[in-house]
């Protein structure tokens, strides 16, 4: 269910002299820094209450410069800090009130916050602790232990988790509301591992030692992974006879 926007940029109202722009223009501007962003992503962030563009009488979205900057900040927070949307919303709302809302987590390394202001130390972007994962996924210890038992989520040797574990945990939790239990999802896990193996055959990422070559290989791997996900989704829709609107 879409959330009620609480932290938008003034309902998309632009200052005098700054014209409102369409979602297509917003997309072209954001793609200069975020090549993978899509219209669906912008609409999703709107549905989650993170931005609130103005609507024309005919229902078209119109974005102000403040809306575009807010979207860019959100995408940076996801890309650079792997923050859940709930934490991003809290930080943006706190920023709008002239406060600072830091993300939860134990101290590790000193840093500045996402807006260049001092903040408490936090875990590095690529890893989170167990308590952070539980909080981000909004589940209890027993649920996480069950997911781990079925191999859906796997901690690192030191007990921490990679940032993608938050996404996996939330999706597993959402599927659970439809009656799909962890034992049902092992087939999805196995399919994902087979797809990952296929991608690694095309781009053997671990073999590259040159930084530039490895960076190119990582970019190619991300593109292949994105295409694989789209193909998988399309095949599932086809198998179910469901059309995408």
pLDDT in tens, 155-211: 988 888 988 888 898 888 888 888 889 889 988 888 888 888 887 777 765 555 667
Asked if residue 79 and residue 3 are part of one domain, the reply reads yes
Task: Report pLDDT for 59.
Answer: 87
Q: What is the mean pLDDT of residues 131-137?
A: 83
Asked if residue 30 and residue 4 are part of one domain, the reply reads yes
Task: Report pLDDT for 65.
Answer: 94
Q: How many residues does the chain have?
A: 245
Asked if residue 92 and residue 25 are part of one domain, the reply reads yes
Residue range(s) defining the domain that contains residue 213 = 203-245
Check pLDDT > 60 for residue 1: no
Q: What is the mean pLDDT of residues 4-30?
A: 66
Q: What is the mean pLDDT of residues 232-241?
A: 86
Cα–Cα distance for residue pair 7/17, rounded to 1 Å = 23
pLDDT in tens, 65-84: 999 999 999 998 888 776 77
Check pLDDT > 70 for residue 143: yes
Asked if residue 90 and residue 11 are part of one domain, the reply reads yes
Residue 108 placed within a domain = no
Number of folded domains in the chain? 3
Task: Report pLDDT for 110.
Answer: 35
Asked if residue 3 and residue 76 are part of one domain, the reply reads yes
Is residue 109 classed as helix, strand or coil in its secondary structure? strand
What are the distances in angstroms from CA 222 to CA 70, 176, 199, 215, 233? 25, 28, 10, 11, 17
Asked if residue 240 and residue 166 are part of one domain, the reply reads no
Asked if residue 211 and residue 174 are part of one domain, the reply reads no
Residue 66 placed within a domain = yes
Asked if residue 79 and residue 16 are part of one domain, the reply reads yes
Tell me the whole-structure pTM to 2 decimals.
0.45
Going through the chain in order, the beta strands assigned E by DSSP cover 54-55, 61-62, 109-112, 118-122, 127-128, 161-162
pLDDT in tens, 95-126: 877 765 444 433 333 334 444 443 433 334 46
Q: Which of 97, 118, 140 is the last residue of a domain?
A: 97
Burial class (CB in 10 A: 0-12, 13-18, 19+), 141: exposed
Task: Report pLDDT for 204.
Answer: 65
Alpha helix (H) ranges present in 117-181?
A: 130-137, 141-149, 164-176
Asked if residue 221 and residue 184 are part of one domain, the reply reads no
Check pLDDT > 80 for residue 88: yes
Higher-pLDDT residue of 1, 195: 195
Provide the pLDDT confidence category of residue 17 given band limits of 50, 70 and 90. Answer: low
Distance of alpha carbon 71 from the chain centroid: 13
Domain of 28, CATH number, reads 1.10.1660.10
Task: Report pLDDT for 208.
Answer: 54
Q: What is the mean pLDDT of residues 218-242?
A: 84
Domain of 175, CATH number, reads 1.10.1660
Residue 112 placed within a domain = no
Asked if residue 89 and residue 7 are part of one domain, the reply reads yes
Asked if residue 26 and residue 84 are part of one domain, the reply reads yes
Asked if residue 68 and residue 4 are part of one domain, the reply reads yes
């Amino acid at each position: 269910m879409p959330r009620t926007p609480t932290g938008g940029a003034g309902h998309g109202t632009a200052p005098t002299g700054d014209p409102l722009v369409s979602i297509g223009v917003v997309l072209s501007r954001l793609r200069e820094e975020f090549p993978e962003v899509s219209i669906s992503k912008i609409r999703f962030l709107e549905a989650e209450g993170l931005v609130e563009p103005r609507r024309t009488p005919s229902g078209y979205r119109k974005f102000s410069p403040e809306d575009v900057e807010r979207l860019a900040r959100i995408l940076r927070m996801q890309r650079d800090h792997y923050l859940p949307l709930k934490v991003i919303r809290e930080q943006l709302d706190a920023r709008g009130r002239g406060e600072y809302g830091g993300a939860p987590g134990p101290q590790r390394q000193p840093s500045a916050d996402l807006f260049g202001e001092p903040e408490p130390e936090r875990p590095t972007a690529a890893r989170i602790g167990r308590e952070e994962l539980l909080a981000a996924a909004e589940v209890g210890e027993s649920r996480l232990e069950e997911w781990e038992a079925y191999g859906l989520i796997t901690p690192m040797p030191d007990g921490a988790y990679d940032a993608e574990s938050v996404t996996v945990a939330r999706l597993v939790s959402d599927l659970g509301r439809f009656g799909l239990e962890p034992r049902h999802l092992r087939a999805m896990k196995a399919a994902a591992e087979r797809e990952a193996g296929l991608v690694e055959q095309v781009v053997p990422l671990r073999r590259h030692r040159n930084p530039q070559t490895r960076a190119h290989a990582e970019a190619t791997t991300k593109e292949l992974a994105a295409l694989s996900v789209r193909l998988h989704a399309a095949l599932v829709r086809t198998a179910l006879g469901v059309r995408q609107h």
